[in-house]
Structure 1
């Protein structure tokens, strides 16, 4: 396997460890000199050092102790990581228990997904250490902070320290989680053109419903339109946006630097009333409210085609006959609007890696994790190792290129079994100069340039991944569950049973009683601080 390379600078080692909150504690165990710490060189230590790290992992992934990537990193650095993996579901339920058992803490937590509140809570108690105290041992991360003030601002806690490492994967994909696909073969059978308006789509869906489009003799198994209601991808947002307000599933979007709670707008009301009729008439799959990914995806993989149209991330994931479908641009709504919103899915994720206060010689561990921000290693952490996922030789442009998929394997299967994902830095520069995007990402990006990005109105942007103060966190927690639960309850009821017009004023009044204005005000305050207003 091709050796992983580390390219960055050096600094003399220190005997004292600077702890969080300005405290300084003496390291126990062997000193940096005794283990032969060589920051900026390989191996990082002359005498092997071991650390314990807890991390959730995808069900398809190998145990991290068995991953070729980590085995190679151990060979290169002479640092052995003893991984304790658990399922993502188990981690979500056990995380607080792990953090409360202070006598048995690991050295660090990977893919930790610490929230702003957890960072404030556990940094204030001294449980996690301030990583910015060790930047001289982290040349790659230090360079990122110097070059990207936006990232620095996003991950800096209210006390001015950085306690957790981020993940950065900038491809321009996740803000646009929907593309609309329609069965062109069925359109051709009916002699119909690809619809361009909501009105035309309504007629098409009615024809899909009333005819035996798949020719199996059953006129009731066709599903005119399906998606996942409130899913992170393939959701209802673009259908709603056709009514003149850019929507996302958070009902929270920024328009001309003002935070708008879209679930209180007239456009939301009109769209809800309109699509109730579609659901009532069988044009929209009633299972949109309950189906999980597996149920939805199975609808496109059967012997007979049953999906007339759907929203999803990519076509091939859903149907076994992608050649029969085409992508449809955003539809023109009843008032002549053709637009989409921007999802609050972030290319920069916070809280991915934290180090606990019991970690001995954190300089060494942080030098090890800093290598994850090297472009070649970031690519392998995100997709899989050179020699397994990537070719040993670079392409004519000098970029890493992925190997052909093994027969019978999908991209997801190969990636998830070989890549831990988590801490990486892949920005525009890396995509241009170090690594090729995987082919399906390149295809999706080109599709978004045609079918999504041109339809985001000027002045519209996602709500950024801001850092909240403790007071803001408390305000949000005071209101957010009641507000969003109520919106979900009313929206689903209105879509299924109607009545939005009759109940609208009472709905708005109830939201105000629940504190929605204070919630939006808090979002606005944090946003203005983020943009430096």
Structure 2
């Protein structure tokens, strides 16, 4: 049992500022029951949001480029709203640990921003009264978000917990088809090898990777090319699983509405067999299970990578955005007629929540609701007008980019002006946010996504939904051991430490650990969601 004193010590060791936590201790404020102490100073429309100065605390993950308090977007929002924010940031890589410690400590921020709250966390801390219900606040103080829910009832269904409450607001991106970052081919390698048609089958992909290894496409006279690289398989897993008819790495639903637990599927076995072949022939990077993303990128900038995953190819290879490095076209094996291709669910829950110690939940809801408007979305995504962009036709929402200060890369500079960079922030992303700002490269990427994913039947692998409290408790217990076992065995099968001849024994172990039960629970939840 971790005591409050121990929790605060851990928070100090982790680098969180206790001064920011002061005054945010737990109390029976009844924020969800009736008007807060600050409700009378909240203006229901327009700016400022509050008629008296108000300071609130916010916790979110920091990508380590700029302090949020120094960002122009935060300054502009404070001027508009009249609300001053103090931040409890923690590095993105360790944010989950810090978030858990904060929940244990009893010392909560007023708001969680881009915290990636899971349905389990929402149910647990919502039922404990730590996260407050938001549906009444949405009705009264969030006209932008309420309009989104009224026009998209599926979103309301997906973010409503089994107890009928909404505990967090989501990120909504119907205009982004990617479920995971795509894979990209090194265009220089394709050109050097005379490849004009991308692989369409697992056999063709194998033959291409083999050529990368043996034919010196980087032209340095050394056999230092790495045909396929990864970081613990998490960045390439779903793309290669799709070749064997599987949409998702854990739970997915097929065209007949049957729920599957991926790690025991025959397609998963064939995926392991394929990767083991690549591993044995040095076609899969032998640093896969030990390297960091930064180490992977260093290999790319050194001209060593043939096929890899990232947001864009130039993030790894360096240089300028280029259409010379094509997006991976999902391949199929002999098991299937067409590859299984997962697409973005469009809704990512847990992006914004309000805690019970927040003295002004109404003002907090009005603050975040602005981000769900067109104007607020542009501010938080692109920064203030006149800094990185400007309008050429404001009425038509057409914009143009301005020169980037100090010759920086535009995305690098954007990361210094807004917290909406590399984290799942609350937002409703629409095409008109980028109207006039899309480059030829952006259009090419969209075309690649359309042709290689959407036109080929990309589908949502499993909807965003909640389990009941009892179901969630059982799933959490089951997954704790299952996830660890599956991850360990995946690495062992791929590297050959565990022979695939032991597959039946592996499946038997998973079933004993509750893999079948996990699928049953999600089947029940899916059937309930579908009929609701």
SS in 2 for 1:462: coil
Whether the 8 Å contact between 2:330 and 2:452 is mirrored in structure 1 is: yes
Q: 1:477, CA displacement in angstroms?
A: 1.3
Q: What SS does structure 2 have at the residue aligned with 1:227?
A: coil
In the alignment, the residues of structure 2 paired with residue 192 and residue 65 of structure 1 have an alpha-carbon distance, to the nearest angstrom, of 50
Quick check: 2:111–2:354 contact (8 Å CA) kept in 1? yes
1:377 aligns with 2:376: yes
Distance 1:285 1:518, change over 3 A: same
Whether 2:417 is the aligned partner of 1:414: answer no
Maintained 8 Å contact 2:493/2:500: no
Runs (4+) of structure 1 exceeding 6 A deviation are none
The equivalent position to 1:97 in structure 2, one of 98, 101, 106, is: 101
Q: Quick one: distance in 2 between partners of 1:335 and 1:95?
A: 43
Question: Which residue of 205, 215, 218 corresponds with 1:214?
Answer: 218
User: Cα distance, 1:50 vs. partner?
Assistant: 2.3
Q: CA, structure 1 residues 176+443, in 2 after alignment: closer, same or farther (shift >3 Å)?
A: farther
- Look up the match of 1:38: 43
C-alpha distance in structure 1 between counterparts of 2:146 and 2:191, whole Å: 57
Paired position in structure 2 for 1:14: none
- The answer to whether the Cα contact below 8 Å between 1:300 and 1:320 also exists between their aligned partners in 2 is yes
Question: What is residue 108 of structure 1 aligned with on the other side?
Answer: 111
CA distance in structure 2 between the aligned counterparts of 1:388 and 1:44, rounded to whole angstroms: 24
Unaligned 5+ segments in structure 1 are 1-16
Q: Residue 217 of structure 2: SS of its match in structure 1?
A: coil
Cα distance change, pair 96–189 in 1 and its aligned pair in 2 (3 A): closer
Q: How far, CA to CA, are the matches of 1:122 and 1:528 in structure 2?
A: 25
TM, length-normalised to structure 1: 0.83
Structure 1 residues 330 and 117: CA distance shift in structure 2, 3 A: closer
| 1:141 corresponds to which of 136, 145, 160 | 145
1:313-392 matches, cutoff 5 A? 313-320=311-318, 325-334=325-334, 337-342=337-342, 346-392=345-391
CA gap 1:411/1:452 in 2 versus in 1, 3 angstroms: farther
- Structure 2: give runs of 5+ residues left out of the alignment: 1-28
Alignment-derived partner of residue 306 in structure 2:
308
CA spacing shift, 1:253–1:48, aligned 2, 3 Å:
same
- The verdict on how the C-alpha distance between 1:193 and 1:268 changes in structure 2, with shifts beyond 3 A counting, is same
8 Å Cα contact 2:31-2:358 kept in structure 1: no
Alignment length (residue pairs): 496
Change in CA separation of 1:256 and 1:384 when aligned onto 2, cut-off 3 Å: farther
TM-score, with length taken from structure 2: 0.84
What is the alpha-carbon distance in structure 2 between the residues aligned to residue 246 and residue 252 of structure 1? 8
Q: CA deviation at 1:519?
A: 0.1
In 2, distance between residues paired with 1:369 and 1:354? 10
1:118-157 matches, within 5 Å, as 118-134=121-137, 135-157=139-161
Helix, strand or coil for the counterpart of 1:487?
helix
Write the distance in 2 (CA, Å) between the matches of 1:189 and 1:54. 49
Map of 1:158 onto structure 2: 162
Larger radius of gyration: 1
Aligned to 1:274: 274
Quickly say closer, same or farther: Cα 1:369–1:189, change in 2 above 3 A: closer
**How far did residue 259 of structure 1 move?**
1.3
Q: How does 1:191-230 map to 2 (within 5 A)?
A: 191=194, 193-194=196-197, 195-218=199-222, 220-230=223-233
